[in-house]
Amino acid sequence: MDSSHEGEFDPIKASYIREHNNYDLPLVCRTADNAFAIGEANLIDYGGMYLGGRGDGKPGVQARISRRLDDQNLIARAEVGPNGAGSPWRVIMLGDALGKLIDSNLIGNLNPPAAFDTAWIKPGKTAWDWWSGPYLPPPDKGGTDMPTIRRYVDFAGQAGFEYMMIDEGWCLNSGTGGRAPDNADVTKTKPDIDMPELVAYAAKKKVRLWLWVQWSLLDRQMDAALAQYEKWGIAGIKVDFMDRNDQQMVDYYHKLMAKAAGHKLLVDMHGAYPPAGLNRTYPNYLTQEGIMGAEYNKWSRRVTATHNVSLGFTRMLLGPLDYTPGGFRNATPATFQVINSPPQVQTTRGHGLGMFVVYESPFQMVADSPDVYENAAGFDFLKAVPTAWDETRFLQGEIDDYIVVARRKGKDWYVGVMGNEKPHSISVPLSFLPAGKFNAKVWVDGSTPTTLIEGERAVTSVDTLELKLAPSGGAAVRITR
């Protein structure tokens, strides 16, 4: 049950779900007439859930709860108080079509609301120095150093992004990956990093900084570290490599979110278990991984267009997902090469733009290196698209084919479209628009994976957009008054 929860959502008949397998949440099911998904909510003082087959040859699943590390016979230890010892909600989301579950807020609403002032919490987009290498073209060196971090801060400021993420390698005696050296100190920087100077430099660009930190290093210095990050003026922390969902790890999430809120720090969890709605109780918990996202392009061919489409109907049902989109070195599946730095993606530019609407994340990475965005087709859309929304509408699609999602921010609407490895001709009725006249700007696949066809037209709620998607393609639309 130790898992980073990063894998494919594959189609399988319910009768083939075996008793000896552990299935991650959500388990999404489609019948001839309707659809449903199984998840959990309000996970507190308890181990997280997996699902396994019944073991009697009949379709159906049974709950499997992660065991405590100190006693594999127990899923939880609890003191029975006046209200009794509780357990999480077991949730079945029902809909007459699978995509309709995307509109639901059920998982979050089964958690208590925040009990503290949240006015300081600001969603936004971030530049990020890890996914691309960190890569900068010659003569720049690249690396976790002052010049490279300043370059990414410059890029964030120029693009109007709220944040810049400094990933692993900044702290004193930092390990790599999930390592937690005994002499590491997450309250101090390595000798060639001046954090107060970087925070001040970023502030001049109207950018705030985030810091990556390995979870167990943070755990052993939590109070001192969070106080130091607040003193430095850090906006948030990305905590990584938990890779468990037993009761002790669930307790760690709750402890961290409460203490981070006390220091006005935002949080992004990686190596995370599937969402159970904790971000409603702690809205400073902006997003989380627990998803096979863009990082897998650096070492595998697993991140296909079909996988990307499936995520909109599966993992996204539970809560925000830090997929880390924005790869602009687009290739076809046939020409895609597995390169660690700078990496490619095996989907089109239009497909990548569509992710910023389809995938919900109040803290949204723009994952590639600054040089690749210079004068790049579609980057104007990335600068404009919001990261927090007022309304969501699933418009059309199927889990193994394509997806179309519309989201509203204020009076503006955005539409994201993503297709699988086949070409698609999609008609998108605009009946979700209110009365009045609008302008629709469209970015859709061009003749190559990196090119786009852009156009604008006047539209109303009775109009339809006709979109032609390339294989592994997609589109994005911005609709304004």
For residue 449, what are the domain limits? 393-480
In this structure, the answer to whether residues 398 and 382 fall within a common structural domain is: no
**416 domain-assigned:** yes
DSSP states of 82-139: TT----PEEEEEEESSGGGGGG--HHHHTSPPP-S--TT---EEEEESSTT-S---TT
> Residue 84 has what pLDDT?
61
In this structure, the answer to whether residues 130 and 192 fall within a common structural domain is: yes
Please write the tens of the pLDDT for every residue from 270-320.
Answer: 999 999 999 999 999 999 999 999 999 999 999 999 999 999 999 999 999
Q: Residue 476 — φ and ψ, nearest 5°?
A: -140, 145
Helix (H) or strand (E) run with residue 81 in it: none
**99 domain-assigned:** yes
Whether pLDDT at 83 is above 70: no
**9 domain-assigned:** no
In this structure, the answer to whether residues 353 and 417 fall within a common structural domain is: no
In this structure, the answer to whether residues 159 and 182 fall within a common structural domain is: yes
In this structure, the answer to whether residues 216 and 268 fall within a common structural domain is: yes
**3 domain-assigned:** no
> What's the predicted TM-score (pTM) here?
0.96
In this structure, the answer to whether residues 232 and 351 fall within a common structural domain is: yes
In this structure, the answer to whether residues 241 and 191 fall within a common structural domain is: yes
Please write the tens of the pLDDT for every residue from 21-63.
Answer: 899 999 999 998 999 999 999 999 999 999 999 988 788 999 9
pLDDT category at 85 given cuts 50, 70, 90 is low
**6 domain-assigned:** no
Sign of CA dihedral 215, 221, 224, 228: negative
**CATH code of residue 476:** 2.60.40.1180
> Residue 199 has what pLDDT?
98
**300 domain-assigned:** yes
Average pLDDT over residues 371-397: 98
> Residue 86 has what pLDDT?
79
344 vs 378: CA distance, rounded Å: 16
Please write the tens of the pLDDT for every residue from 132-143.
Answer: 988 888 777 788
92 vs 28: CA distance, rounded Å: 10
In this structure, the answer to whether residues 47 and 196 fall within a common structural domain is: no
> Residue 142 has what pLDDT?
82
**4 domain-assigned:** no
Last residue in a domain, options 343, 371, 388:
388
In this structure, the answer to whether residues 63 and 159 fall within a common structural domain is: no
- Please count the structural domains in the chain: 3
Nearest to 423 by CA among 451, 444, 441, 440: 444
In this structure, the answer to whether residues 459 and 369 fall within a common structural domain is: no
**181 domain-assigned:** yes
In this structure, the answer to whether residues 248 and 342 fall within a common structural domain is: yes
> Residue 34 has what pLDDT?
93
Last residue in a domain, options 370, 388, 406:
388
Whether pLDDT at 202 is above 80: yes
In this structure, the answer to whether residues 133 and 39 fall within a common structural domain is: no
**CATH code of residue 348:** 3.20.20.70
Last residue in a domain, options 334, 357, 388:
388
